Amino acid sequence: MTVRRDFQESAKCRSDLVIGREELLTAARDQLRRGGSVLLHGPAGIGKSTVLRSLAAEYGESARTVLRCSATESESHLPFLALADLLGLRLGEVSDQLPAAQRTALESALTGRGESTLQRDGLALRLAVLSALRALATKGPVLVVADDLQWLDPASAELLGFAARRLGDTPVQMLFAVRTEGQEYDRHLRASPPDTIAVRLGALTRAQVSALLDDRGYTGLPRSTVRDIHRTSGGNPLFALELGRALAENPTPPRPGEPLPVPTSLRALVLNRLEMLSYEARRTLLVASAGARPTVALLHAAGRENAEAETAQAAELGLLATEPEGPAVRFAHPLISAALYAEAPAQDRRAAHAALSTAASDPIERARHLALATTGTDPDVAARLAEAATLARDRGAPSVAASMGLLAARHTPADSTPAPDERRLQAAEDAITSGEVDLARDIAHDVLGRATVPADRVRAWMVVIEAAGQALGDVDAVYPQALADAGDDPGLLALVHYQLAWRGLVVEGDFAEGREQAAHAAELAARAGDRRTELLALAFQAQTETLMGHPDAPATIKRALKEPQDPQVACHHNGAGSTRFRWLIMSDQLTEARNTVTALLREVRRRGMVESEVHFLRLLAETELRSGHCGRALDLARESLRLARDSGIGRVASALLTSLAEASGGDVDRALALAREAVEHAEEDGDQMYISRTLAALGHAQLVAGDPEGTVRSLRRVRELEHALGITDPARGRWHGDLAEALVRVGEIAEAQDVVNVTREHALRLQRESVLAVLDRAEALVRAARGDEDAAVAQLTSVQDRLAKLGYGLEEARAAFALASLRTTTVPASYDEAARLFRRCRALPWLRQVEAAAAAAPAKPAPAPAPALDALDGLAAMERQVAALVMEGATNREIAGRLFISVKTVEATLTRVYRKLGIRSRVDIVRLAAGRHPK
């Protein structure tokens, strides 16, 4: 795609803040720090100049001399212009250090005598540029910065390349940026110093595009719109910003099913070759741009008889990508399709959609095209769209269902049954399911602006509350209005009291209030025959009773699981399945908990339930963490956090869980940063339930980081908060052992024993075996601090065995570590067992602590580093996960189930692992895990 040079970024887009390029910047910084050179490359608008400016500003300060040039296409025919930019102002500094012939040649080039200078005095001029750079370097490091290298005039490019290849150890570094559409940067790399690395800038992710738009002031865009901007821009930051600007300046947002408005600047940018097409070829491309998955066959069915020849012509002009292996008609960039559609007259668009409404094979797609081809209300069109929405919902595509529902409402006559607002509210509920909370909120407020029917108003209020997420304090004014609209209708009141139960828990931090409201909501829903709300309320009641340690919890869970069940509620993150999982994991039934949450995750993915997917990814990560599978837990937690940030749902919960996973199996500094971020957001939301949980994650990260004082501060506050909340079950947060251990480290022995005693009383009452074992581990440290080391060693030995039998691999390893640390005072130190167990768990932060302790122990050298850990670093992500599960003893079928892949894929992946690690069997992987060389 050709980009005109006269297209300029708006002033708003000229920030040097680099978004979404952290890894690339790290690689470039490392190279520049080593004294090397960097070539940035990528397509137009991808952000090369922004990265170049950032790096130049950062490393220009350490250079004595910075030489700059920025070429333009319109000036690329002027010889030596770039050379003049680079050396023109520096000629006086170096001219007396150049031989006469070189000085004359260089002065001639810089004073405009033209290309004949290079032809006549070629060698002298080439040597002059090289000598000038060397002369400047004698006074200190030199940094050469050149943007848009592709527009460098040929004479300057040739001279710069000649010098670059011959600088050797001269302290001259080069930082270049060049536009490339594919990988054709080799010729520019050959004209750079030999130690230059090429860094390609690719497309931004949706989350990065969202951050970019927010940074440039285009805030408040619905996530569905950000998703469309990302798709249309192809992740290109310049294109995304232009689309965001067009939306900000457009008072009327696009209606459902319509593409984004494409500003004139971008239309001209990508459609300058459209004039070379025939009228009929343009009509064919318009039909392709209107289709969701256009093929030549679809174009034929839509009446485009010469589709092959016309698409071939468009491909030759670079408008379409060639697809020799498949039938798809794919535009070279999504923006071309959007701009082509935006450029077409409204009647031509409707004609294209009318043709596709009969040609498309998918009923949802046919309905969408029919809607976009129809103006005004039409009950038949509305009915077809409502059917399409139902079909999309059944297929697990709630986002599509929301779009179809809004189109159906638009075409529904005001006096129809169901009414337009009923269809809008269904679309809002579908949007909630798909994670598009901004869209759902907007629909609900639109309905509330005119609705008078109580059921519609209460339903809309429920959407507003759901869209608030954990920030329920922000919608406090909604509850009395919803109660007033509900009147004395038990079904409507049940909906409101269910939300009041959540408010009691999240805003007030009152578990008892939440439990009472949920029980009342369940009773009201049962009277009204609303089984869905009754099940949700019972699940909420059961969850609060579980966390409170209430004796009625098992009975309430059974009531919530009793038939008949609602399929949507059964797999909902607030449903009985989730509550049952929480009971299982708190009761140390890890295998059953894993099976339960794995099945739930599979079902919500099938249904497209985004918030539930984020939730169950976290729960599965938590299960793996409890089981000591730290690598697997870290992968799942990071996936949950990416999805949470992308959708704006569950960010606090995913951040705190990822912090725990990072502290156990990843990077401790990242764990601390994530925990602090989670605490900050929970406090901003006023979420009493999550403030304590995020502080518990922070306390754990501080303990792993070697900051027991910080741990004590954080976890003392958790203790106060949970006491106020009425939480008595220690299996909820499992922070009590960390607090006791940190108190021992800071010398607060009596308080540590008190924490153990109080917590043990609740754990014994609730039969929390793993909690009791961890408390015994902490008590052993108390005994050791009081001088009773024999009793401490005996207690830790028992604890390690109990935790192993329960399947808590990481806690078992921590017990072994504590045991080895105590034995250093009585017998020769041996950290081999602790190192082996942490290695099996892939608990890298803990393993580093073991290695440091072993190295510091005088009696015995540190254990040999695990070859498995180094070897696994060279594997791809999937290969690493499979190898890690083999190390844990999982069968191929178990691995397939846990990673959601086939057994055949597991076998093929293992074959690659064997080849890369230079081993022959699963047994060799296990030997690596144990720190032994394979035979």
pLDDT band, residue 119 (cuts 50/70/90): low
Average pLDDT, the chain: 86
Contacts of 577 (CB under 8 A, 6+ apart): 570, 571, 596, 600
Closest CA to 773 of 790, 791, 756: 756
| pLDDT tens-digit series, residues 386-440 | 999 999 998 888 989 999 999 999 999 999 999 999 999 999 999 999 888 888 9
Residue 6 — pLDDT band, cuts 50, 70, 90? Answer: very low
pLDDT exceeds 70 at position 803: yes
Give yes or no for residue 568 having a pLDDT over 90. Answer: no
Cα separation values, 683 from 47, 616, 819, Å: 35, 24, 38
Give dist(CA 521, CA 486) in Å, integer. 13
Question: What confidence score (pLDDT) does residue 861 get?
Answer: 47
User: Among the residues of 666-733, which ranges form H helices?
Assistant: 668-685, 688-704, 708-725
pLDDT, residue 80, reads 84
pLDDT computed for residue 907 by the predictor: 81
Lowest mean pLDDT among 581-595, 673-687, 873-887: 873-887
CB 608 within 8 A of CB 434: yes
CA distances to 82, 384, 407 from 367, in Å: 57, 6, 9
Residue 744 pLDDT: 95
- What is the pLDDT confidence band of residue 16, given thresholds at 50, 70 and 90? very low
The pLDDT confidence band at residue 120, using thresholds 50, 70 and 90, is low
Band (pLDDT 50/70/90 cuts) for residue 328 is confident
Tens of pLDDT, residue by residue over 719-772, are 999 888 888 889 988 999 999 999 999 999 999 999 999 999 999 999 999 999
pLDDT value, residue 862: 43
User: Where would I find the beta strands (DSSP E) of 733-802?
Assistant: none
Average pLDDT, integer, range 802-822: 93
Tokens for 243, please give them. Answer: 């689309």
Q: How confident is the model at residue 10 (pLDDT cuts 50, 70, 90)?
A: very low
Q: What is the pLDDT of residue 871?
A: 58
DSSP 328: B
Looking at the predicted structure, is the pLDDT value of residue 799 above 80? yes
Q: What is the pLDDT of residue 325?
A: 52
On whether the CB atoms of residues 885 and 912 are closer than 8 A, the answer is: no
pLDDT band at 589 (very low <50, low <70, confident <90, very high): very high
Tell me how many degrees the CA angle 547-553-555 measures, rounded to the nearest 5: 165
Which of these, 165, 58, 75, lies nearest to 84 by C-alpha position?
75
The pLDDT value recorded for residue 124 is: 86
Considering only CA atoms, which of 14, 76, 54 is closest in space to residue 145? 54
Q: What single string gives the DSSP state of each residue in 794-858?
A: HHHHHHHHHHHHHT-HHHHHHHHHHHHHHHTTTS----HHHHHHHHHHT-HHHHHHHHHHHHH-S
Q: Identify the band that residue 60 occupies on the pLDDT scale cut at 50, 70 and 90.
A: confident
- For CA atoms 570, 572, 577, 579, the dihedral sign is negative
Q: Residue 775 pLDDT > 50, yes or no?
A: yes
Banded pLDDT at 4 (limits 50, 70, 90): very low
What mean pLDDT comes out for the span 554-583? 90
- Residue 667 confidence (pLDDT) above 50: yes
For 866-894, what is the mean pLDDT?
Answer: 70
pLDDT digits (tens, 9 = 90+) for 69-107: 888 877 777 888 888 888 888 888 888 888 888 888 888
Dist. CA 162–CA 129, nearest whole Å? 9
The pLDDT score that the predictor gives to residue 155 is 85
Rounded Cα gap, residues 451 and 794, in angstroms = 71
- The model's pLDDT over 266-290, given as tens digits with 9 standing for 90+, comes to 777 677 777 788 889 999 999 999 9
Give the model's pLDDT for residue 323. 59
Mean pLDDT of 886-908: 75
Instruction: Compute the distance between CA of residue 551 and CA of residue 194 in angstroms, rounded to an integer.
Output: 73
Q: Which residue in the block uniquely carries the two structure tokens 């083999």?
A: 886
Residues 6+ apart with CB under 8 A from 820: 829, 830, 831, 833, 834, 850, 853
Distance of alpha carbon 756 from alpha carbon 737, whole angstroms: 8
Q: What angle do CA 189, 193, 194 make, to 5 degrees?
A: 80
Residue 674's pLDDT is what? 96
- Give the H/E segment covering residue 179: strand 172-179
Q: Which of 96-105, 347-356, 408-417, 569-578 has the lowest mean pLDDT?
A: 96-105
Share above pLDDT 90 across residues of the chain, in percent, rounded to a whole number: 47
The model's pLDDT over 612-638, given as tens digits with 9 standing for 90+, comes to 999 999 999 999 999 999 999 999 999
If you compute the radius of gyration of the chain from its CA atoms, what whole number of angstroms results?
A: 33
Determine if the peptide bond prior to 845 is cis (ω within 30°): no
118 pLDDT band, cuts 50/70/90, is low
pLDDT category at 378 given cuts 50, 70, 90 is very high
pLDDT classification of 357: cutoffs 50, 70, 90? very high
pLDDT of residue 356: 95
Residue 824: band (very low, low, confident or very high) from pLDDT cuts 50, 70, 90: low
pLDDT, residue 121, reads 67
Mind listing the pLDDT tens digit for each residue in 650-660?
889 999 999 99
Can you tell me the distance from the alpha carbon of 427 to that of 430, in angstroms, rounded to the nearest whole number?
5
Would you state the pLDDT for residue 44?
A: 81
| Mean local confidence (pLDDT), 345-371 | 93
Q: Is the dihedral of CA 542, 546, 547, 548 positive or negative?
A: positive
Q: What per-residue confidence (pLDDT) applies to 11? A: 34
Q: Looking up tokens 């971008």, which residue turns up?
A: 266
Distance CA 119, CA 526 (A): 94
